[in-house]
Structure 1
């Protein structure tokens, strides 16, 4: 798959502080992928929010700056013993979609929703790759699509 150059685009990354052992590597993967594909350091804005639930608000605040072409939301929610997992995952997925439609800009779902810590580690640079990197590639492709359609 050929990836469009990210040189002309501005990206926002909103990352959850909760589960930082997972979200840190996701952030590194996303940032490195953007740079690898030509994004300029000054065109990447990173903000941290307390948890995955706040990713939606963080993306909405970030998109008030109309110069940002795409936002990548990075978080990790690990299944626990209560229904909290279901509520958070659903709210974040719907919220990210809502923000994307509200601002007419790509907002990328880079949130791991795993059954356990090992599954999260496997997807944050482990045996299943780095989903932060995949989210960045998606952001590049969607920013390019948005630019072509305009």
Structure 2
């Protein structure tokens, strides 16, 4: 069973609270166990806790959840791009799956609400699949025939 942590931004919590509910439901559907739900103030803050979360021995993967809503300036672009870049950097550094379930940039509130379920489910599904496949790959051994890890 994959042990999954969810890191969720509180900013735009009317949206991210729904994402959290959908993520937990989908994790159960996939047979994964949610071991931690860690809330942070905003999307930009997600990378600050990731190393601590993935260091837990009872976490195989992490799904990040957040919503960056378009405003009058390009601040949403900055927040979304920097958070996404750092999340990927940390995932590669620690060699554990950390997936991106962040709506935006460029989304308005209505678009974000329409994408709640899709983004939450995709982030959880990718985290669970990656965790399972990394384990399969670690245990796989080539013996003259192509090894498929799927």
TM-score, length-scaled by structure 2: 0.86
Q: Which runs of 5+ in 1 are unaligned?
A: 1-7
Of the two, which has the highest radius of gyration? 2
Shift of 1:61: 1.7
Equivalenced residues, count: 137
Q: Which runs of 5+ in 2 are unaligned?
A: 139-150
Shift of 1:109: 0.3
Q: Deviations over 1:35-92 (max 9, x none)?
A: 112123xx52101000000111122220121431110000000111112111101111
Give, in whole Å, the separation in 2 of the partners of 1:66 and 1:92. Answer: 24
- State the partner residue of 1:67: 58
Q: CA RMSD in A?
A: 1.2
List structure 1 segments (4+ residues) > 6 angstroms apart after TM superposition.
none
- State the partner residue of 2:135: 147
Tell me if 1:38 matches 2:31. Answer: yes
- State the partner residue of 1:78: 69
- State the partner residue of 2:93: 102
Give, in whole Å, the separation in 2 of the partners of 1:138 and 1:101. Answer: 15
Residue in structure 1 matching 2:84, options 52, 77, 93:
93
Does the CA-based 8 Å contact 1:30-1:133 persist in structure 2? yes
Tell me if 1:23 matches 2:11. Answer: no
Residue in structure 1 matching 2:43, options 43, 46, 52:
52
